[in-house]
Amino acid sequence: MKKTKMPKTNNVSPSISEVYDIIAESFDSKRKHPWEEVTTFISKIAPGKFVLDLGSGNGRHSRILIENDIEAIGYDISLNILKTARENELQKVKERIFGLINGDARYLAFRSSSLDGFIMIAVIHHFESDEQRKLVLNEIKRVLRRNGVGLISCWQRTHPRFKKSDLVEQIAKGEKDVYVPWVMPNGEKIERYYYLFDPEELMEIVEEAGLSIIKSEISHHNLFLTVKKE
């Protein structure tokens, strides 16, 4: 298979928005089922609450929010993946979407203390520096109302994907900054940046941002943190 490395400009790595703009349709075709851990979390949110799906991707979790009569706001840095979400996964509930926003998670377009909750599924590991990851968490804390709750997830290095030959050596060496290829239908590989958190590391920066951790669990090689703004 041909491996496509995104072009660099002035030695700067391609942004995650460029990556997901390219893989949007392919991603949608392979990510049809919402995660059980997310649907369980959503089932405990009261109808009518304003909940942000941060890094909403193809909208499969936004759809569950909407079907539970929650005012869902999809928010993603990739415009193409938002268009794909509206045309496909959210087509049947498009009249009930509170909003779809093309924006950067580091600078959320909401007033302080304006949202009741959030989900951020497989997103935090795409930010390339500790400073950026902390910016995201600080923004989440800012826009949450008091007693607002959220669910954060990220891959663990035990994930089966990291046992494949292209990454196994880096994982064995303990490298934390890796590129995981997304295989397109034509066989091309588009590389996506991942930061491999140790569980304690993510928990630490979440608490530093002022969010309390209510529950932590590792399921299907993902770390899930249920958090709250006190």
Please tell me the predicted confidence (pLDDT) of residue 186. Answer: 96
Residue 106: Cβ within 10 Å count: 16
Within its chain, how far is the Cα of 227 from the centroid? 15
Q: Scanning the structure block, which residue is given the tokens 């496509």?
A: 4
Q: What is the pLDDT of residues 195-213, one digit of tens each?
A: 999 999 999 999 999 999 9
For residue 134, the model assigns a pLDDT of 97
pLDDT for res 175: 95
pLDDT tens by residue, 88-122: 999 999 889 899 999 999 999 999 999 999 999 99
Short-list 177, 199, 75, 60, CA closest to 126: 177
Rounded to whole angstroms, the Cα distance separating 142 from 92 reads 32
Q: Which domains does the chain have, with CATH numbers?
A: 3-228 (3.40.50.150)
Listed as ranges, residues in the chain with pLDDT below 70 are: 1-14
- State how far Cα 155 lies from the chain centre: 11
Residue 144: the pLDDT is 98
3-state helix, strand, coil in the chain (%, to 5): 35, 30, 35
Instruction: Give me the pLDDT at residue 1, please.
Output: 38
User: Which stretches of the chain are assigned E, i.e. beta strand?
Assistant: 3-4, 50-54, 71-76, 99-102, 115-121, 144-155, 177-183, 189-195, 212-219, 222-228
Q: What is the pLDDT of residue 10?
A: 37
Q: What pLDDT sits at residue 15?
A: 85
Q: What is the pLDDT of residue 13?
A: 52
Pairing of strands 222-228, 212-219: antiparallel
Rounded CA gap, 211 and 150, in Å? 9
The whole-angstrom separation of Cα 56 and Cα 62 is 7
| pLDDT value of residue 8 | 40
CB neighbours of residue 204 within 10 Å? 12
